[in-house]
Amino acid sequence: MKPPSFLYARPDTLEGALAILDEHGDDAKILAGGQSLIPLLNFRLARPRVLVDIALIDQIQTIGDNNGTLSIGAGVSQGDAEQSADVRRAAPLVAESIGYIGHLQNRNSGTVGGSVAHADPAAELPAVLTTLQATMVLRSSGAERMVPADEFFVGPFTTALGSGEMLYEIRIPKKPAARSHIIELSLRSGDFALAGVAGQLTMTGDVVGDVDLVAFGVDAVPLRLTEAEAAIRGREPSPAVLEDAAALAASAVDPSFGDVHADGAFRATVVGEYTHRVLLEVTR
């Protein structure tokens, strides 16, 4: 239960970190908070040759509230993001979801960007950023590109990040009139989610305007509940409409996606029920 040997660097510039990634390619891994990576090293499920600690790169440790966009640097800790007044005002769903991540000791060390780049299928932040239609800003030596959340998560623990590339910043479009909520089920407080649902909704008069519903823990990547969204978009959120949407959410879950803790049918039931609860909360 001890990590294998590796080379460790802690550059104080982004350029320095990117140069190391460039040189070592897939043999190098970013070390952010280490709350997922170091357990993997302890179990020797990962054996990177080089770890690049990003703790000293100042420009990725900031939260910015610009007109229309909330930006969260990849190195911001989950605890700091959860407590941030800017995050709570501009993207309350992010702050709410962080309360579900591990325990307070993990959130003090773990980073927002680390959770996103790790891309655990049961993780909250990938689902929440998909819900909020966030954009991931990726940097590599001499290049920058933007990837929308819907395209960033490509499989379990697999993202659009290429060799030599690192997550730099997360940009979240602000929707001041929207309401949001997240609920998840886990065996014990702080455990990985068996299933969860995040949602954001804006009313246009008496009818539903924009709506985003995403389930997690039930597929290889965050699962956008497109049929449930379509069932309520443009309609009055009557009890019957919400119940229809919840049923469509449940039927979107692949019943074969299960494990020893919960089979797929149970997870689907949970997604239906939690979709209903999220919709009741955001249309209240």
By the criterion CB under 8 A, which residues form the site for another protein?
A: 1-12, 16, 20, 24, 31, 34-35, 38-39, 41-43, 50-53, 55-56, 79, 102-106, 108-109, 188-190
- Closer by beta carbon to another protein, 54 or else 232: 54
- Closer by beta carbon to another protein, 1 or else 206: 1
User: In angstroms, what is the minimal distance from the CB of 44 to another protein?
Assistant: 11
Residues sharing a CB contact under 8 Å with residue 143, sequence separation 6 or more, in sequence order: none
Three-state DSSP class for residue 253: coil
Angle at 182 between CA 190 and CA 263, to 5 degrees: 65
Residues sharing a CB contact under 8 Å with residue 59, sequence separation 6 or more, in sequence order: 14, 73
- Closer by beta carbon to another protein, 16 or else 209: 16
Q: How far is the C-alpha of 195 from the C-alpha of 127, rounded, in Å? A: 11
- Closer by beta carbon to another protein, 69 or else 106: 106
User: In angstroms, what is the minimal distance from the CB of 71 to another protein?
Assistant: 24
In this structure, are strands 50-53 and 28-31 parallel, antiparallel, or unpaired?
Answer: parallel
- Closer by beta carbon to another protein, 34 or else 258: 34
- Closer by beta carbon to another protein, 12 or else 254: 12
User: In angstroms, what is the minimal distance from the CB of 29 to another protein?
Assistant: 12
- Closer by beta carbon to another protein, 41 or else 91: 41
Computed from CA positions of residues 119, 161, 146, 253, in that sequence, does the dihedral angle turn out positive or negative? Answer: negative
User: In angstroms, what is the minimal distance from the CB of 97 to another protein?
Assistant: 16
User: In angstroms, what is the minimal distance from the CB of 24 to another protein?
Assistant: 8
In this structure, are strands 166-173 and 158-159 parallel, antiparallel, or unpaired?
Answer: unpaired
CA distance between the termini of the chain? 49
Q: Are 167 and 110 in contact (CB under 8 A)?
A: no
User: In angstroms, what is the minimal distance from the CB of 188 to another protein?
Assistant: 7
DSSP code, position 3:
P
Angle at 158 between CA 154 and CA 159, to 5 degrees: 60
- Residue with tokens 């069932």, as numbered in its chain: 231
Angle at 241 between CA 219 and CA 218, to 5 degrees: 10
User: In angstroms, what is the minimal distance from the CB of 199 to another protein?
Assistant: 23
